[in-house]
Amino acid sequence: MSTATGQSLFKQPRAVFAVAFACVVSFMGIGLVDPILPALSSKLDATPSQVSLLFTSSSPAGSPAASAPSPH
């Protein structure tokens, strides 16, 4: 693979690959948490709003680097 300028797509700084890996892990975490929420809500006798809060809180907790301020 090459871009329009002829450079290889794989010759990127390490930070690009680190961000791509973090995105993959984050989406895998969402894919694992989302399907089990109905089972959790029935076992815990949780209301729909409590389940929504659980799902919302699992996203930032799984990827603290996503909410960290930029050093620049």
The pLDDT tens digits of the residues spanning 26-57 come to: 888 778 878 888 888 899 899 988 888 877 87
Percent of the chain, pLDDT > 90? 15
- The one-character DSSP state at 64 is G
Domain ranges of the chain: 30-60
Task: Report which residue type is found at 72.
Answer: H
30, two tokens: 């969402």
Q: What residues are paired with 8 via a beta bridge?
A: 2
Contact 61, 24 (CB under 8 A): no
Contact 33, 55 (CB under 8 A): yes
- How confident is the model at residue 65, as a pLDDT? 52
Question: What angle, 0 to 180 degrees and rounded to 10, lies between the N-to-C axes of helices 48-62 and 14-44?
Answer: 160
Percent of the chain, pLDDT > 70? 71
Average pLDDT, the chain: 77
